[in-house]
Amino acid sequence: MRPSLDFATGGGVGDQPVDRVLPIRGSGVSIRRAGRTLLDRVDLTIEPGPLTVIMGPNGAGKSLLLRVLAALIEPDDGAVSWAGTAPSRRRAPRLGFVFQKPVMLRRSAIDNVRYALKVAGVPRIERDSRALDALAGAGLDRLAGSPARVLSGGEQQRLAIARALATRPEILLLDEPTANLDPTATLAIEDQVRRAHQAGTTVAFVTHDLGQARRLADQIVFLHQGRIAEHAPAAQFFAQPSSEAAAAFIEGRLMP
Ligand SMILES: Nc1ncnc2c1ncn2[C@@H]1O[C@H](COP(=O)(O)OP(=O)(O)OP(=O)(O)O)[C@@H](O)[C@H]1O
Ligand SMILES: [Mg+2]
């Protein structure tokens, strides 16, 4: 875990008081579809601070877990709370969510960010400077006026992260944001996420890429068949996994 960060001071939206979302807590969360249990009584708390990597093989339930914590889907059993209370739409801008495939409006790069700021309730007068700052932080200032949908995959994903960060979320949740990218673009995304984390944003990052998990994680949540098989500091997880499923995954012999 990184020292000397004050995670207690999240940014506010405009001058409005800050509504907290952290810690995000899932208690006994189950998801069932078509007679299958896809998440099975998952207990997980995302505290402010560490960079958490949620790892596991295809189909383990990583995306479902991230979505349920972000209140994009409701659990069939159990509950999710944000800062001790039920999730609310009003606080949604305090969570930045980034998907595997960036979803861009048919507008310029900067207008995509401006729009997110508007939706988050940031006063008009602040939107331009905040959007420009966000683009500069992603190395995209030169492309501010370009249509977002003509940017390369890597640029679009950097833009998606910049857009999510522009509202100064307490937490950034990313679901395999580099799955479609080449190694250079992947490292650029990792750098962007690391900088956001070092600046005080809590991060939950889903990946099944072991190398990426080693590069990024403070702690690992390892999901297997809809259950948390292991939740441990990254160094401990890689050196001495306590579950057979995690050991098999690290050695490349775990099938979904
Ligand atoms: N709406 C749904 N209806 C039925 N099954 C679903 C639904 N959503 C997800 N599943 C199933 O739930 C399981 C977990 O899905 P999830 O997308 O969370 O996996 P994942 O760990 O993110 O996998 P991947 O690494 O491939 O993205 C999969 O077997 C998937 O087919
Ligand atoms: Mg997934």
The CA-atom distances, in angstroms, between 111 and each of 7, 102, 144, 166 are: 29, 15, 8, 12
Better pLDDT: 133 or 255: 133
Neighbours of 135 (CB within 10 A): 23
In this predicted structure, the answer to whether residue 11 has a pLDDT above a threshold of 90 is: no
CATH of 4-10+18-101+169-251, one of 3.40.50.300, 1.10.3470.10, 3.30.1780.10, 3.40.50.1370: 3.40.50.300
Residue bearing the CA closest to ligand 1, atom 7: 33
Band the pLDDT of 215: cuts 50, 70, 90.
Answer: very high
Over residues 114-170, the pLDDT tens digits come to: 999 999 999 999 999 999 999 999 999 999 999 999 999 999 999 999 999 999 999
Residues with CB under 6 A from ligand 1: 33-34, 38, 56, 58-64, 208
Residue type, 99: F
Q: What is the pTM of this model?
A: 0.92
- Ligand nearest 99 Cα, by number? 2
In this predicted structure, the answer to whether residue 16 has a pLDDT above a threshold of 60 is: no
pLDDT of residue 254: 73
Counting from 1 in the atom list of ligand 1, the atom nearest the Cα of 176 is 27
> How many Cα atoms occupy the beta-carbon half-sphere of 200 within 13 Å?
12
In this predicted structure, the answer to whether residue 17 has a pLDDT above a threshold of 70 is: no
Residue bearing the CA closest to ligand 1, atom 28: 59
Residue bearing the CA closest to ligand 1, atom 6: 33
Q: Which two tokens stand for residue 174?
A: 């990313």
Q: What percent of the chain clears pLDDT 90, i.e. is strictly above it? A: 89
The CA-atom distances, in angstroms, between 135 and each of 94, 159, 171, 225 are: 19, 7, 19, 38
Mean pLDDT score across all residues of the chain: 92
Question: Rounded to the nearest whole angstrom, what is the distance from the C-alpha of residue 256 to the centroid of ligand 2?
Answer: 13
Per-domain boundaries in the chain: 4-10+18-101+169-251
